[in-house]
Structure formats: C-alpha cells, structure tokens
Amino acid sequence: MLGDDGTKNLARGLQQNQTLRELQLYGCKVGNEGAVALADMLRVNKHLRILNIQNNQIKDAGASNLARAIEVCALRMFCVSVCGAPMSVARS
C-alpha cells in the first residue's frame, strides 16, 4: 500500500506532470498527510482530470484541504470517502 509517505512522494512528482490524466488511489491507505500533499499538488497540476481516493483513511483535516484545492484545480471528476462516506464531484 502507498500510505502517506508514498502519497507525498507521488504528489511531489505529479506537480510537474504534463501527461497523466487519471489517478486511481482507491484503498491505498492515504491519510491526512497524504491528502494534504495531494491538495498541494492539485493546486499546481493543470493536467490531471480524474482523481479517485475512495476507501482511504482521510479524516476531516485532510478532507478540508482537498475541498479547498478542488475549487481551483483542473479536475473534472473527484471521488473520495471521508470518515467512510463516499462522495463524488463531477464538473464539465
């Protein structure tokens, strides 16, 4: 499993991404630290369109960082579970 450390490393690398359009991190043990790193990445990555981070360990702190990031990012589809409750956001 990826966990927070792996997610932080991945998010750092994806800040320079220009090709990856979809990232599936379903059930990868991403926690709040990983969610914050993903939120930071989403603020600068203009190419990622789909992010699925359902069935992870993200709580309120990580979710609030992600919520602020998806307001300004390029994502078209965002799927997350917060405290066990699945949620999806889609925009055209």
Where do the domains of the chain lie?
3-90
The secondary structure of residue 68, as a DSSP letter, is H
Q: Is the pLDDT of residue 37 over 80?
A: yes
Q: In this model, does residue 65 exceed pLDDT 80?
A: yes
Q: Which structure tokens are listed for 48?
A: 């990622």
The residue behind tokens 């979809």 is 22
- Per-residue pLDDT at 82: 66
Hey, what CATH topology would domain 3-90 get? 3.80.10
Q: Is 49:30 a contact under the CB 8 Å cutoff?
A: no
Residue 84 has pLDDT above 80, yes or no: no
Q: What percentage of the chain reaches a pLDDT higher than 90?
A: 76
For 61, other C-beta atoms within 10 Å of its C-beta total 13
Look at strands 85-90 and 77-82 and give their pairing. Answer: antiparallel
Structure confidence at residue 46 (pLDDT): 94
> Contact at 8 Å (CB) between 38 and 53?
yes
The average confidence (pLDDT) of the chain is: 92
